[in-house]
Amino acid sequence: MIGQAAVDTIQKLLAAGNMPVNDIARAAGVGRMVVYEIKVGVNRRRERRDAGADEQQPEKTDTKFRCPGCGGKITGLSYCLKCSLEMA
């Protein structure tokens, strides 16, 4: 187990991108595998965030073009004409 300070140092050096993994491991006083694991972990988090953003977009546009009153398809109004008249 390594400390959070060491993890921060490794992440900073990895982000800089100009230092070989071997040198980062030696500088942080950890094994090469630890540096690799942190490197993979950072990449995985980034991929998950991107995938999540893609999943949410179609859902939002879909609800935007559906009348909250009757669920019918609309083109820009928050309610369809029929529901707007009923509420007035």
Measured from the CB atom, the residue of 48 and 64 that comes closer to Zn ion is: 64
Give the burial class of 36: count Cβ atoms within 10 A of its Cβ; 0-12 exposed, 13-18 middle, 19 or more buried: middle
Should residue 25 be labelled a site residue for Zn ion when binding is judged by CB under 5 A? no
Should residue 84 be labelled a site residue for Zn ion when binding is judged by CB under 5 A? no
Contact of 32 with 43, CB cutoff 8 Å: no
**Among the residue ranges 7-15, 18-26, 27-35, 61-69, the one whose residues contact Zn ion (CB under 5 A):** 61-69
Should residue 83 be labelled a site residue for Zn ion when binding is judged by CB under 5 A? yes
Length of the chain: 88
Based on its alpha-carbon atoms, the radius of gyration of the chain, rounded to whole angstroms, reads 25
Should residue 67 be labelled a site residue for Zn ion when binding is judged by CB under 5 A? yes
In the complex, least distance from residue 85 CB atom to Zn ion, rounded to whole angstroms: 10
